Amino acid sequence: MRYSQLFPHTLRTLPREHEGTPYGLLVKGGYVRGLGQGLYSFLPLGLRVFYKLKRLIAGEMKRLGGQEVLVPLVNPMELWERSGRDLLVGGDLVKFSDRAGRQMVISPTHEEAMVELLRQSMRSYRMLPVFLYQFQTKYRDEERVRIGLLRSREFIMKDGYSFHRTYADLNNFFPKVFHAYERVFRTCNVPYIVAEAGVGYMGGERSYEFLVPSERGDNVVIRCPSCGYTANQDIAIGIKPLRTQIPLPMEEVETPGCVSMDDLVVHLSVPKSGLAKTMAYRTGKGLVLAVVRGDYEVSTEKLSQVLGTPVFGLASSSELRETGLVPGYLSPLDRRDGIVVVVDTAVADSSNLVIGAGREDHHYMNANFGRDFEGDLVADIAKVWAGHRCYYCGTPMQEERAVEIGHIFKLGDFYSQRMGLSFFDERGREIHPYMGSYGIGMGRLISMIVETNSDEHGIVWPPQVAPFMVFLMSIGNSLSMKRKLEALAEALGDRALLDDRHLSPGRKFLDADLLGIPYRILLTQELLEEGKVEVKERTTGKVWKLAYQRVEDFVHYLEEQYGPV
């Protein structure tokens, strides 16, 4: 490939906000370009990286017996109503109607379409297990879009779906995918960590995230440095320090205008750990009041697990008023028919807390669980953070921001039950297959490869995902030089990018570094007279001479080492 013909060339200038970011390197090098908020184009170089990654991942999926399919991006709304996820996904789900008025969705993920595909195509348990995967566009109307490939609205995901006769079979298959993912991320040279995670709107039971630590991430991972416990903050557990005092009699106090924890801290001179806050959520079981201590935040993920039903989000002030509740003064005492109260363990085990009074401008002090208020459920529903002691070994835990690059779910029969996917087993009993789903965000992975494989000069691609193996250039423009260079380019074919521009050597060197192609091969008049070329390795900066005649062998060797370009 001739660089002069490659669309487009590297940029010399970047907008300030992209300077020094992985996304900036990708833009500057001509790998990707933004089109609009959360929308990105892959350019030829970027697509070459994409295809190499795709081949790498597909190879692993095939090893597990996976078969590639492609289900539509647009789905009939009816499918989503059947799974119940039209409500669960909420605002991320883009809906539209076609000219005939049929309701459609743009899929944020493809469980429904895959289950439907199986429903249409399989009639016997004998066909299980089956493992299907695809590389398909997703669209999520994210609340918060950040610049770069880390959180985009439209993105391509490798998503895989496995279906099993028994839970045991799913349990057996799941670790195989886990290890396949580990091989992929190791090959990509990203320092991934694995964390237990919540299921969010995917449904199901259990999940593991593959994350790369980064300041830019919007996941928080809690880790125990001693025993290695690692979990997403949404579900991480830890030992919560309690407030234990001799119980005092409860008393009502006036708290005019105190509608936040901070107001109460000032007004009552009580630390946040001495307050209990009551939060109202819309859930699959109606309105639920979650009571956590003032210094904690509710984990909707934990709440959802405890309730065994989806949590859609916080109730709005108007919804509260319709139910006769007073925003700002919600109270566990608001518990009654149709309103479930879930009390966090730290609240249940602490004494003399301030709680809302359930009416305007009043709170109660010295409220004690069991004596002054009750809950339908007592459970851990609060997020822990750094400093909390590990539940398993007692060591103070640490926290770290990270970017999620892969996520695997044990979905169980969540979808097969809801969507009516079933077969008869050998004894004539109806079974709902157990399902796993497995995703890798392609853009994010590329972005994180760049973030963790780059230096001040540019990208340093791991050879297995590099767009080309060799960056070929010369200094000097003599006819004999040109001929030698062209001959080499011809011989290397698609494995080399030939910089045939009439630019100063410096410019070519800089672009070679920016593009991050693993080996730079240079011809000069002097080298040529020796019958040699110069090779520079991008990863190490090592430079050595190689006989011109042996270049082809060398590249062939690289190909055997790292796979074809």
Partner RNA sequence: CGGGCUGUAGCGCAGGGGUUAGCGUACAGGUCUGGGGGACCUGGGGUCGGCGGUUCAAAUCCGCCCAGCCCGACCA
Contact positions vs RNA (CB under 7 A)? 9-17, 34, 36-37, 143-147, 259-262, 277-280, 292, 294, 296-298, 300, 313-317, 320, 327-330, 356, 457, 475-477, 502-507, 509-514, 522, 524, 526-527, 534, 536, 543
Cβ of residue 234: shortest distance to RNA, in angstroms?
10
Q: Which two tokens stand for residue 557?
A: 């060797």
SS3 assignment, position 174:
helix
Euclidean distance between CA atoms 12 and 14, whole angstroms? 7
Euclidean distance between CA atoms 149 and 547, whole angstroms? 41
299 vs 437, beta carbon nearer RNA: 299
253 vs 259, beta carbon nearer RNA: 259
Cβ of residue 496: shortest distance to RNA, in angstroms?
18
Give the distance from CA 321 to its chain's centroid: 37
Q: Which residues contact 352 (CB under 8 A, 6 or more apart)?
A: 243, 245, 247, 248, 274, 365, 366, 367, 368
Euclidean distance between CA atoms 458 and 558, whole angstroms? 22
11 vs 122, beta carbon nearer RNA: 11
Cβ of residue 290: shortest distance to RNA, in angstroms?
8
Provide the β-strand partners of residue 373: 369
Q: Which two tokens stand for residue 183?
A: 């091989």
Cβ of residue 356: shortest distance to RNA, in angstroms?
5
Q: Which two tokens stand for residue 309?
A: 């039903």
399 vs 559, beta carbon nearer RNA: 399
Q: In what order do the strands lie in the sheet with 251-254?
A: 251-254, 362-367, 353-356
Cβ of residue 283: shortest distance to RNA, in angstroms?
12
Q: Which residues contact 148 (CB under 8 A, 6 or more apart)?
A: 21, 22, 23, 216, 447
Backbone torsions φ then ψ of 318, nearest 5 degrees: -70, -35
Give the distance from CA 384 to its chain's centroid: 20
Cβ of residue 495: shortest distance to RNA, in angstroms?
21
53 vs 381, beta carbon nearer RNA: 381
Task: Note whether 352 and 299 are within 8 A (CB).
Answer: no
Provide the β-strand partners of residue 292: 277
Q: Which two tokens stand for residue 251?
A: 């008393």
Cβ of residue 52: shortest distance to RNA, in angstroms?
24
What's the Rg (C-alpha) of the chain?
29
Cis peptide before 247 (omega within 30 of 0): no
Cβ of residue 485: shortest distance to RNA, in angstroms?
12
55 vs 507, beta carbon nearer RNA: 507
Classify strands 74-76 and 103-106 as parallel, antiparallel or unpaired. antiparallel
126 vs 321, beta carbon nearer RNA: 321
427 vs 502, beta carbon nearer RNA: 502
81 vs 372, beta carbon nearer RNA: 372
Cβ of residue 407: shortest distance to RNA, in angstroms?
21
